[in-house]
Amino acid sequence: MEKLENINFKNSFGTLSEDFYTKQGWSPLPKAKLVSFNYDLAKELGLETINPGYLIKIFNGEVSVPNSEPLAMAYAGHQFGNWVPQLGDGRGILFGQIKTANGLKDLHIKGAGKTPYSRFGDGRAVLRSSIREYLCGEAMHGLKIPSSRSLIIFTGEEPVFRETTEPGAMIVRTASTHIRFGNFEYLCHNGKQNLLPELIDHVIEEYFPEYVELENKNELFFEAVVKKTAELIAAWQSVGFAHGVMNTDNMSILGETFDFGPFGFLENYQPDYICNHSDYQGRYSFNNQPNIGLWNCQALASALSPLINETQLKKSLENYQLYFYNHFIHLFRGKLGLIKKDHKDFELIEETLNFLKQEKLDYTNFFRNLNGFIFGDKKFSLQEKLRKRFEFEEISQDKHEEIVKANNPKFILRNYLAQVAIEKAEKGDFSEVNKLLEILKNPFLDHKGLDDYAKESPEWGKNLEISCSS
């Protein structure tokens, strides 16, 4: 078994000024037991030879680890458009960083108990929301969308009260960074502007080393954040993913999906879909996500205004739409099984989406089975248009179907599938969590014998309301 001393942990964020965080330990869950362990991710982190039971002891705070220097991060943010001057890790601990073949990865413990930023919360997470985050992180990774992922999830004998009494849990997630738009907003709007250069220098050195020696490194950093954000949200739109809580404190500066809350994947195509039942005005509806991405970048621009001149900030913000639409059209060409570019492709994409809305078709299954729709019995004018566009490609129908299936998943994390897994887990049966994990890791494969997991949701599962409480 690998010794922890041989794993190279560090926490570079903990070398910054103390205004950025509070160093502290965390509160173990009593009688902790494994729910699920992500072996594929463990291998990428170099932790696959460590027994999951021993990892639980580490992440439950029962075994100390050299160089990890756990801390709770301080940040602020705009929540549903309203400024909140202090948020921070109210139930999370940044355990440390680990070096991998894909660069540094944060290890972050969620549900770790109270921190100075907990306000009136108990600092815990419930099993229900932890399972949803665990599964969705892997689902997004399987869909080739930048995302936080989770290494391990465990529960314990400590009840947590939300709307009802629920089992508590801890989840250990990874991300390239947990630095978010809100870290910069916290400094700029709370009289700590003098610390902004320290944070931006740290971010550039750690994550954009190619800019370090350049005179306009700050401007290049912001441009990169705008581009990564726009392309991330284009990817969300392409698979029908609704985040549900796009507050600025939930936006990664590296364009990764994280802080999963009341997310949802589109069932029947419904562009005004609202997955968060607390979002009374539809601010974070599915079709508003691209606009909110830009709004959040504007909030970050405001926080960076002491470091970057207004002209440069505006120029980068003006590029947001270009980055979004270029990536959106690129992704949808793949979904439609197209390789060549045509200047009318965006119109064709719009017409296809309008058709889905009008016919109330299942978003995922329609695109997965697009080949059959195009070349089946002609019933709709859209079929003729898609067939004509296909002829421009000069490829076989088999090649077209191959492209379609490589770009359209068979499986997504439908809310009812997560709900079934949660209900079993709350009774002590974790088998469905693990089964879903394996399916969602490879959502483009056929997974023979598991077709039921690709079917449209039953009626009761299409209208599940998901709350922020976790």
Look up residue 32 and give its two tokens. 């902790």
Q: What is the amino acid identity at position 410? A: K
Q: What is the DSSP code (8-state) at residue 88?
A: -
Angstrom distance (rounded) from CA 156 to CA 139: 25
The beta-strand segments (E) located in 211-296 are 241-242, 264-265
Q: Buried (b) or exposed (e) across 386-398, using 16+ Cβ within 10 A?
A: beebbeebebeee
Helix (H) or strand (E) holding 128: helix 127-142
Angstrom distance (rounded) from CA 453 to CA 449: 9
Angstrom distance (rounded) from CA 347 to CA 356: 14
Q: Is 249 a catalytic residue?
A: yes
**Helices and strands (H and E) in the chain: how many:** 17, 13
Which residue is catalytic, options 249, 259, 279, 362? 249
Look up residue 140 and give its two tokens. 């997004």
3-state secondary structure 418-458: HHHHHHHHCCCCCHHHHHHHHHHHCCCCCCCCCHHHHCCCC
Angstrom distance (rounded) from CA 409 to CA 362: 13
Look up residue 334 and give its two tokens. 């793949």
Look up residue 252 and give its two tokens. 């990664």
Look up residue 47 and give its two tokens. 């932790």
Residues marked active site are found at: 249
